[in-house]
Chains A and B, each alone.
Chain A
């Protein structure tokens, strides 16, 4: 196991190095002068030269890359061109909101996806299986931005069951201000006992979380179903059948636990995917997360901010992959040999 751990960590570091190089190259591909973008179109040549000097834009590319890596490691992720704040601070504010949205979505996806996967496996080729396969396939094929617009119109606009957009009612900031601990609003509201903001956040969260949950629910249901069906064909299931256990108890008592191993690794992967998928949902519901930040950065061609978002997500993705592999290495020794 230690050798596997070391090898896998080394691989992850290599990937991170590659990711940094790729992000750097994409930044350098940007048409237009970053100095002009920062100083504004009316800047004098002297001001431009000062900006160039400050950001080292006149240095040779390899040197710029070395400086870029050094800055990243020391926590300097550059200055956003549109908020004029350090990108790191912006990300620190936006990322928790995205985590909140995706976390809620994954809770929904697990709570719904696994049971309906079990249901489909129990009644395979029967009507419930047909229904689950059909709806989970629909969920996986759903254009999220369209689903977001449609549910927003129906449930927030026409029926008025939930608020249209935003993270919570901002007037609450004056009546019951929130103490920040984790920057995740709903968690902070819960641990500080701020019920007005907690309920308001919950109301605002339901609809966007349901939309983000569509894809993970679909794949989790499909994976649970497939893994259970494979597991229930194993020898141990045959033995359990011979001992007189019914199909339902074979699935839930014996097959479910081994079948959940691939489902768990799927969840880690789908988590990182959902953050990016959530960008589209954040745009529709005006959710103050990474997606909105990315959209604003894209509009203003804010390269340091775009690079920051890209890098952060890639790191999360790499980390999720690493965790999955290590967990599987612990659970299944065969995985270490790969």
Chain B
């Protein structure tokens, strides 16, 4: 209820466009399917040599792989890995990146310059490249993927948060707080940070697709998730030598990556347009 009696509908963020709505629906499905994998999966996530390389059929909708695992089951479990990686990477990068960013934006001066030069260095490495180098150095595995990608991802949030925080720091309510003698950490925490979060959240939804693609690429190169963890990029890698005779072992996991990344990308774009009407094109 609002005091002015405006219809509730107008206070909710509008669903920006049909694309974004489609993306949101797909994401809900992917998330639910991954969370409920143990209950939804038609088969246990175990090898069954008797059922090796079955083509898609009523019994195995998406066929089976070389060691007889059901591909649909693997994709459902693989979704857990991909979504976990994306969530972990984005959480770590956003927390580290935004913390440094609001400090830089509020403080300005040499503190800002120093932090920004550090982000410049990290941004000079394409995410996949530094992840490659790090994944070689560390033990391959899901945690390494998270660390490697997060190391290359946080500077984007620092830059974003710094520019937003810098503009918020010039507002009169921040000036007022400063004049009242509120200590800087408290101003950042109470005023600058909360007001900087919206663009960061939009950026997170825009980035999820990219993180999923990068993680899948690392696993495809053998530097990410390892057997027996189910992961989409890894499934493609394991299936590629069988691709000519058993198309389903590569096609379906790849489609899973594509559809999920697509859904996050369109949702992110829709959110950005909804919150920044200047960019929205009607």
Contacts and interface: CB of A to CB of B under 8 A. Distances in A.
Interface SS of B by simple majority: helix
Contacts of A145: 217, 220, 233, 236
Contact of B117 (A15, A26, A30, A275): A15
Interface string A300-321: 0100001101100110011001
Give the interface centre of B137, B216, B258, B269 by most chain A CB atoms within 10 Å: B137
Nearest to B136: A298
Contacts of B128: 276-277, 279
Contacts of A318: 124
A163 to B, nearest CB: 15
Contacts, number: 131
Interface SS of A by simple majority: helix
Contacts of A30: 136-137
24 contacts: A11-B120, A16-B124, A18-B118, A21-B121, A23-B133, A30-B136, A30-B137, A137-B266, A140-B265, A143-B213, A143-B254, A143-B261, A144-B217, A146-B250, A150-B250, A153-B243, A275-B126, A276-B129, A283-B221, A298-B132, A301-B136, A310-B133, A313-B129, A317-B124
Interface residues of B, number: 45
Contacts of B240: 149, 284
A141 B244 contact: no
Interface string B255-282: 0011001100110010000000001011
A229 B280 CA distance: 10
Interface in B189-235: 209, 213, 216-217, 220-221, 223, 233
A153 B137 contact: no
A101 interface: no
Contacts of B236: 143, 145-146, 149
A143 B244 contact: no
A204 interface: no
A14 B133 contact: no
A317 B209 contact: no
B134 interface: yes
Contact of A157 (B213, B220, B244): B244
Given A18-B117, A272-B126, A280-B220, A141 B133 contact: no
A141 B250 contact: no
A295 to B, nearest CB: 7
A26 B282 CA distance: 47
A133 interface: yes
Nearest to B126: A276
B115 to A, nearest CB: 13
Contacts of A229: 281
A124 B133 contact: no
Contact of A294 (B124, B132, B138, B253): B132
Interface size grouping (class) on chain A: 35 or more
Nearest to A222: B269
B125 interface: yes
A119 interface: no
B213 A141 contact: yes
Contact of B125 (A140, A143, A317): A317
A268 interface: no
A31 B137 contact: yes
A298 B136 CA distance: 6
B43 interface: no
B61 interface: no
Contacts of A157: 244
A314 B220 contact: no
B247 interface: yes
Contacts of B117: 11, 14-15, 18
Nearest to B264: A141
Contacts of A242: none
A33 to B, nearest CB: 14
Contact of B233 (A125, A143, A150): A143
Nearest to A276: B126
Given A18-B117, A29-B137, A314 B124 contact: yes
B281 A124 contact: yes
A133 B89 CA distance: 28
Given A143-B254, A145-B220, A306-B133, A138 B262 contact: yes
B143 interface: no
B84 interface: no
A147 B133 CA distance: 24
B99 interface: no
B21 interface: no
A149 B250 CA distance: 8
Nearest to A16: B124
A65 interface: no
A335 interface: no
B109 to A, nearest CB: 16
